[in-house]
Amino acid sequence: MAIEEDPKQKKQCEILEDLPGVGPATAQRLKELGFNTVESLATATVKELEAAGIGEKKALEVVRAARGGMELSFIHADELLKMREKILRLSTGSKAIDALLEGGLETQTITEFYGEFGSGKSQICHQLCVNAQLPRERGGLAGGALYIDTENTFRTERVIKMAEHLGLDPNEVIKNIIFAEAYNSDHQILLLNNADKIIKENNIRLIIVDSLTAHFRSEYLGREMLAERQQKLNKHMHKLIRLSQAFNAVAVVTNQVMAKPDVFFGDAIHPIGGHIVAHTSHTRFYLRKSSRGPLRIARLESSPALPEGEAVFKVTVNGIEDLTEDDELEGRRKR
């Protein structure tokens, strides 16, 4: 039996109070926990609801009802394939990067871009906010974007430039981007935990956390705080995965790097966040600057089903672009 939702049940359960066993008091408690929609509740865990003082039995009942009255169960791989057909792809604006991904960033999983300051992480995030609004046949998701900014680097002016370059109405484009600045890691967690209603009401198909790790890195110092930091990061990323699944959205996080001394090869560059971030990001890119001005190199380091590879792209006034023939020629001359 597949996890297909019963359409009748789904129709009845538009809001939390429609779910069997959910009265106004329970609905209020669920909302306080950040579960404002039936969709987000469908990917909740019983433990999370218990934290709000909802008994285990009731929690199980509520989550099951939100899933459309069906229990999650084992399915055949061909059904899994059918579920994967729902996955959409979002173009990065660079054909070279899209080719590494066989089309673009996938919905329902997290894609991570890590790299040094100025390597183009935030520029890619800006471009994705615009691209998400393109129709499907142009590599978009025909939806809006949610941008959680922790470093105060989001610039509406950049989005306007990129939108104009793609022939979109910039005023429309900026209206479809919901922006929030996170002041510290707790605020960042809170914003995401309460994002479900905004995502649903605004047809959000792209959720960005830029940067995922900056606040955590500066607030949790020293070894004794590491375990707590990792635990919080883990929960935060899982919330992000579940939102991306519930709303068939692309999730993107950026990450900084640190240099670790390496015995044989000098300093090696490592992304922040250790195993937790590495294993929770399904697709991981390492971005670096090249010696040639606006050119950047994106290395696909890990993906569940694609080989590693590298692509060269450009950050220009128009956004993320592919190299021109002249760029390629110049590159060959320099080699």
Ligand X SMILES: Nc1ncnc2c1ncn2[C@@H]1O[C@H](COP(=O)(O)OP(=O)(O)O)[C@@H](O)[C@H]1O
Residues interacting with Mg ion, by CB under 5 A?
121-122, 153
Provide the minimum distance between the beta carbon of 151 and Mg ion in the complex, in angstroms, as a whole number. 6
In this structure, are residues 211 and 152 in contact, taking their beta carbons and an 8 Å threshold? Answer: no
What is the distance between the terminal CA atoms of the chain, rounded to a whole angstrom? 57
In this structure, are residues 315 and 307 in contact, taking their beta carbons and an 8 Å threshold? Answer: no
CA-to-CA distance for 61 and 77, rounded, in angstroms? 27
CA-to-CA distance for 87 and 77, rounded, in angstroms? 16
Indicate the DSSP class of residue 245: H
317 binding ligand X? (CB under 6 A):
yes
Q: How many residues bind ligand X (CB under 6 A)?
A: 13
213 binding ligand X? (CB under 6 A):
no
In this structure, are residues 282 and 111 in contact, taking their beta carbons and an 8 Å threshold? Answer: yes
Distances from the Cα of 10 to the Cα of 13, 44, 66, 300, angstroms: 5, 17, 8, 38
255 binding ligand X? (CB under 6 A):
no
316 binding ligand X? (CB under 6 A):
yes
Provide the minimum distance between the beta carbon of 179 and ligand X in the complex, in angstroms, as a whole number. 16
Provide the minimum distance between the beta carbon of 331 and ligand X in the complex, in angstroms, as a whole number. 18
119 binding ligand X? (CB under 6 A):
yes
What is the per-residue burial (b if ≥16 Cβ within 10 Å, else e) of 80-107?
A: eeeeeeeebbbbbbbebbbebbeebbbb
Strands 250-255 and 110-115: parallel
Binding mask 149-188 for ligand X (x = CB under 6 A): ----x-----------------------------------
CA-to-CA distance for 151 and 214, rounded, in angstroms? 8
Residue number, 153 or 230, with CB nearest to Mg ion: 153
Select from ligand X, Mg ion, none the partner in contact with residue 118, using the beta carbon and a kind-dependent cut-off of 5 to 8 Å: ligand X
Provide the minimum distance between the beta carbon of 124 and ligand X in the complex, in angstroms, as a whole number. 7
Residue number, 79 or 116, with CB nearest to ligand X: 116
Provide the minimum distance between the beta carbon of 70 and Mg ion in the complex, in angstroms, as a whole number. 42
Distances from the Cα of 84 to the Cα of 108, 198, 289, angstroms: 9, 25, 34
115 binding ligand X? (CB under 6 A):
yes
Select from ligand X, Mg ion, none the partner in contact with residue 227, using the beta carbon and a kind-dependent cut-off of 5 to 8 Å: none
Select from Mg ion, ligand X, none the partner in contact with residue 120, using the beta carbon and a kind-dependent cut-off of 5 to 8 Å: ligand X
Provide the minimum distance between the beta carbon of 320 and Mg ion in the complex, in angstroms, as a whole number. 14
297 binding ligand X? (CB under 6 A):
no
232 binding ligand X? (CB under 6 A):
no
Of 21-29, 69-77, 119-127, 225-233, the segment contacting ligand X by CB under 6 A is 119-127
DSSP secondary structure string for all residues of 150-213: SSS---HHHHHHHHHHTT--HHHHHHTEEEEE--SHHHHHHHHHT-HHHHHHTTEEEEEEETSS
Per CB under 6 A, residues contacting ligand X are: 115, 117-123, 153, 294, 315-317
